[in-house]
A and B are shown apart, each in its own frame.
Chain A
Amino acid sequence: AQKITQTQPGMFVQEKEAVTLDCTYDTSDPSYGLFWYKQPSSGEMIFLIYQGSYDQQNATEGRYSLNFQKARKSANLVISASQLGDSAMYFCAMRGQPGFQKLVFGTGTRLLVSP
């Protein structure tokens, strides 16, 4: 069974600074995928970034990057140059072996960006 742990219920950052949101995972599957989603106050879940377990390089998407440390089973999200619009809930999720398409989610981290 897969498990995702997000230990930071809330994080604060000033505008234009970088912030790291922590995520650790547990799985016995050799092949898996890790995801980050953003949920603004409006409620929609926005897919941000994906990292595959066999990917050699850390994933990046614009201001988002995923610090993937396989041996430590961590997949931290780094947001560079924070903006006020980054204030939201952030969820880490994973999927195990191909063919089992459900995602397992963590409990989320609420990020507040201040001016």
Chain B
Amino acid sequence: DAGVIQSPRHEVTEMGQEVTLRCKPISGHDYLFWYRQTMMRGLELLIYFNNNVPIDDSGMPEDRFSAKMPNASFSTLKIQPSEPRDSAVYFCASSFLSGAGGGEQFFGPGTRLTVL
């Protein structure tokens, strides 16, 4: 398997523009997680899905952020409108185990987002 795939790898946009980040999880994995990583706040969980259903979105910072998982092989994280403070590396991760086994997550390479 190719692992978790994320696109784009880098995104530079201007404040106010819509940004869409994409993720393809590992085939057979039931869980999908979206994280944001910054120097100040570290790695933060934004939202996670189980069997394509959002389970916990309490980490989504504002209504400007939304995430969807229309099928088992694709998820998107959208920011509209984007702001400079959204600049970060966004990671997608997937896992196939629940409970404590769910801590064994497989991360994608990340999308580095810069909002000017």
- Pair from one complex: no
